[in-house]
Amino acid sequence: MFDFGFSEMAVTALVALVVLGPERLPRVARQVGQWLGKLQRYVTDVKADINRQMDLEDLRKLQSEVTTAAREVESSVKSVVDGAQAQFDSLASSVEGDSKPPEPVTDWDRIYAVRRSRDRIRDRRIERDRELKRKRPKRRFYRS
């Protein structure tokens, strides 16, 4: 920070001893040391904040680059998939001869039927336990 030699420090100490006197010199030296420590901590914190901001800016740039690259890859993959899907659809329509709409991928009626049967089984168990006067432990997390 500052370039002080031994001779400059000795002259400064001698002047401080003459001006302040031997009674107040230790207190003043301690106070000056505390101020210098606070100043060094402050400078260190400012440097660390600047470095963090620079790293954060670099990370934001990297994030934007990765995002644009991912969007480009997604669009290219989507265009290839759409082209292949169009070819498969035209091939399927030429093989079948008629154009009927594709069947839905998920059979919701079957899924709801399974859920209804599961609920009926649970209700029957509860009713049977009531008839037999069994106490069922209460569930903490009830799934509906």
Cβ atoms 5, 13 nearer than 8 A? no
* pLDDT over 70 (residue 140): no
Q: Tell me if 144 is assigned to some domain.
A: no
* pLDDT over 90 (residue 21): no
Q: Which residues contact 129 (CB under 8 A, 6 or more apart)?
A: 135, 136
Give pLDDT, residue 104: 56
Cβ atoms 29, 15 nearer than 8 A? no
Number of structural domains found in the chain? 1
Cβ atoms 49, 55 nearer than 8 A? no
Tens of pLDDT along 66-118? 999 999 999 999 999 988 888 888 887 777 665 555 565 677 888 888 899 99
Q: Tell me if 143 is assigned to some domain.
A: no
Tens of pLDDT along 113-132? 889 999 999 999 889 988 88
Q: Which domain holds residue 15?
A: 6-99+107-131
| Residue 136, CA atoms < 13 Å, CB-side half-sphere | 13
Q: Tell me if 29 is assigned to some domain.
A: yes
Mean pLDDT value across residues 52-56: 91
Q: Tell me if 137 is assigned to some domain.
A: no
